[in-house]
Amino acid sequence: MTSDAYHRIYAVVRRIPRGKVATYGQVARLAGLVNAARQVGYALHALSGVSALPWHRVINSAGRISLPPEAGGLEQRFRLLEEGIMVDAAGRIPLGRHQWRPGSRR
DNA sequence: GCGGTGACGGTCG
DNA sequence: CCGACCGCCACCG
């Protein structure tokens, strides 16, 4: 049932270091997929929060939480704050300071 | 197989 | 900086 694409996506998300975030498009590219940002969102949605994956470290390219508050966005904001990532009331995150750069190992 | 939908992303005004 | 549009593409009824 878990497609190969999903497996790759999850593998990438699992590598995001604590205290760092990655964008949907970034995850898609690292997973070797093209124009699949939406698919990444769909893959994470399929988890329904029931997972050991750091799904909360994935945000959109605008540097904001895409998930509606009542659908888990609130929990995502809380988890990020808990890791020392600044998230303002509007769900905005300073990407320049927190975006994950693969290779820098953090 | 078709059409609507969305945890996206880049552009434009 | 923000909202409106449009292009993309897998999932679902």
Tens of pLDDT, residues A26-71 = 999 999 999 999 999 999 999 877 778 999 999 999 999 999 998 9
> What residues contact A32, with CB distance under 8 A and at least 6 apart?
A8
Note the helical H segments in chain A. Answer: 4-14, 24-30, 37-45, 73-82, 95-98
Torsion on CA atoms A78, A82, A86, A92, rounded to nearest 10: -20
Q: How far apart are CA A100 and CA A49, in angstroms?
A: 22
Tens of pLDDT, residues A83-101 = 999 999 999 999 999 999 9
pTM, to two decimals: 0.93
CA closest to C11 C1', residue: A42
Query: Chain C positions under 7 Å from a protein CB?
Result: 2, 7-11
